[in-house]
Every structure is written in structure tokens, then in C-alpha cells.
């Protein structure tokens, strides 16, 4: 089951900076994001355990959920790989305090080494994101080894910042489900595990399901509301598809947000938003939702209006 009750979301304050990769607000109040050199960070070869990295990381929004283990005496145990990808792998980790019943499951997203990652999509997504130092900007533009490491850090920081922001938003009846962002440490994100806490089985992706007509309509309504909330916050997912939407106990959960796009600051923002709508709309239409309900042009226009662009 999910580890918490999802909070309602509120409209974002207009005019507040949506995106600052150089020094976002959650980093200002958190710890440094670079991993610390720590001989205890290597897992025990016999047990696979390592000390919790909570004390070295940027933390998710306050208040922390009750299920989250934050004790410094906790240990993290690797349980396996949940997902492999071109840019990051997601691992399952149990964080527990030895000799107590305090434990939780976490999904740990680790971005690949810069030499082994594919940055074929960077240019469009990174428009509108700037760091203040010209050396870093030149390195990123030239795709030097240092520049690629900077980009990897931007992916991680962007995803963490977006999840933290979406988690904190809440007013009225606006709702969106995202995993709670537990911590950020360098290019490693620890997130709430969405799935069965007993078996460690992750919630299925939307693409894996064959919902009946009633379920299909309900999931579409949830998705439209999630897109509205994203647009009000100034975001487009940027890579939305049935493969990065989970369905857990009837609830649609939005995941995989490293490429999140600021629809105002990024000149291509409206195009990314329109593509998100087309891709998910086509999936729902192919499974029987009436075409007039998934008209991409109508929904895109509505979302751009919500984002203040029309």
C-alpha cells in the first residue's frame, strides 16, 4: 500500500520563480547535494547493508511522513532492481533501524555515470534552465565530461524540486499523486516506494493494464486533473506516456519527472505540453474512450490557459 494519504493541492502563487537549477529554494534550506567521502558508505559484503545516508542529503518537504525512517542509526539494504533505463536505474531499498520494527521501502533512482548515459534529448528540455556561472554553461553546451556531470545533476535536481513542489501544493479539491521525494544526494534520489509494502512488488504501469470502461473513464478524469495541476504550477511533464504513470489501488500516480519543463521559461514548453496530451490521449482513445473526450487540441488549449499562456 502507499505509505501516506495524498494531500490536496493548492494553486501556485503567480509570479513566484518556478525553476532555478542553480539555487532552488529546497536546496537553500537543505544540505549539500554532493555525496560525501565516507568509508562506511560501502555495503557490508555479507549483509548488503550500509548506514543510512539521510544525514548527508537534501531532505524532502516538511513535515516528513510518519512512515519515513529518519533515524541516523538506520541501515539501508539493497533488495534488487525495480527498473533499468537509458539514463538511470531504479533500485528497491529497505531502510530499517536494527532491532526495532521501524522500517520502510524506498525506490532509489541512480543516474548513470556520465560516460554511460544518453543525453540525446538534453537540448530542448534544458532550455529555460540556467546556471549563473559561464564556465558551467559553456561546459554543458559543449558536452564536456564536466558538462555532462552538470547535466546529470540538473536532471536529478529538477526531478526532486518538481516532486517537492507538487507535494507541497494544496488547496481546494485539486489533486495529483506523486511519490514523496525522500532525499537527494548527488545524482541519487530516494523516493517513496509505490506498491505492495509486504511483497515489494511495484504498482503496475498504466501501459500494463486493460481497464474496463468505467475504470478507463475514471483514470482519464484523474489524468486530466493531474495535468491541470501541473499546468497551474507552470509545468509540463515533458515525457508523459502510459509507461510513467502508475496505478495503485485505483489511484493514478505520476512518476519520472527529470525532464520536467517550465512551460513559461522554455520556448518549447507549449510544444512539450501538447505532445504529452497527444501521447496519453492516443492511449486512452485506443482503449475505447470516445474521441471527443480525448480531443488533444481542446485539452492542450485548456492547459495552456491554466498555465497563464492564453
> What is the set of active-site residues?
239, 256
Helix pair 134-142, 145-168: axis angle to 10 deg: 110
What whole-number distance in Å separates Cα of residue 50 and Cα of residue 229? 38
Contact 295, 282 (CB under 8 A): no
User: In 3D, which of 170, 266, 285 has the Cα closest to residue 223?
Assistant: 285
Q: Write phi, then psi, for 135 (nearest 5 degrees).
A: -60, -45
Beta carbons within 10 angstroms of residue 70's beta carbon? 16
What whole-number distance in Å separates Cα of residue 285 and Cα of residue 262? 27
Amino acid at each position: 500500500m502507499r505509505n501516506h494519504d495524498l494531500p490536496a493541492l493548492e494553486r501556485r502563487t503567480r509570479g513566484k520563480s518556478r525553476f532555478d537549477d542553480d539555487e532552488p529554494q529546497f536546496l537553500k534550506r537543505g544540505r549539500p547535494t554532493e555525496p560525501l567521502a565516507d568509508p562506511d558508505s560501502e555495503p557490508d559484503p555479507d549483509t548488503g547493508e550500509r548506514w543510512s545516508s539521510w544525514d548527508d542529503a537534501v531532505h524532502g518537504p516538511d513535515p516528513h511522513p510518519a512512515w519515513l525512517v529518519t533515524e541516523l542509526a538506520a541501515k539501508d539494504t539493497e533488495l534488487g532492481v525495480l527498473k533499468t533505463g537509458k539514463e538511470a536505474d531504479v533500485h528497491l531499498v529497505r531502510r530499517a533501524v536494527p532491532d526495532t520494527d521501524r522500517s520502510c521501502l524506498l525506490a532509489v533512482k541512480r543516474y548513470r555515470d556520465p560516460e554511460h548515459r544518453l543525453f540525446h534529448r538534453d537540448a530542448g528540455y534544458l532550455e529555460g534552465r540556467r546556471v549563473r556561472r559561464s564556465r558551467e554553461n559553456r561546459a554543458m553546451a559543449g558536452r564536456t565530461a564536466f558538462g555532462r556531470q552538470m547535466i546529470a545533476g540538473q536532471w536529478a535536481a529538477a526531478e526532486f524540486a518538481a516532486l517537492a513542489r507538487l507535494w507541497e501544493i494544496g488547496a481546494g479539491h485539486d489533486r495529483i499523486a506523486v511519490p514523496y521525494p525522500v532525499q537527494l544526494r548527488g545524482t541519487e534520489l530516494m523516493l517513496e516506494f509505490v506498491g505492495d509494502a509486504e511483497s515489494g512488488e511495484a504498482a503496475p504501469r498504466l501501459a500494463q493494464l486493460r481497464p474496463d470502461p468505467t475504470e478507463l473513464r475514471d483514470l482519464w478524469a484523474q489524468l486530466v486533473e493531474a495535468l491541470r495541476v501541473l499546468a497551474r504550477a507552470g509545468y509540463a511533464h515533458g515525457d508523459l506516456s502510459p509507461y510513467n504513470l502508475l496505478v495503485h489501488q485505483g489511484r493514478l500516480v505520476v512518476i519520472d519527472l527529470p525532464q520536467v519543463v517550465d512551460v513559461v521559461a522554455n520556448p518549447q514548453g507549449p510544444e512539450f505540453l501538447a505532445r504529452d496530451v497527444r501521447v496519453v490521449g492516443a492511449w486512452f482513445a485506443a482503449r475505447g474512450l470516445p474521441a471527443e473526450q480525448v480531443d488533444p487540441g481542446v485539452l492542450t488549449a485548456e492547459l495552456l490557459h491554466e498555465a497563464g499562456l492564453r
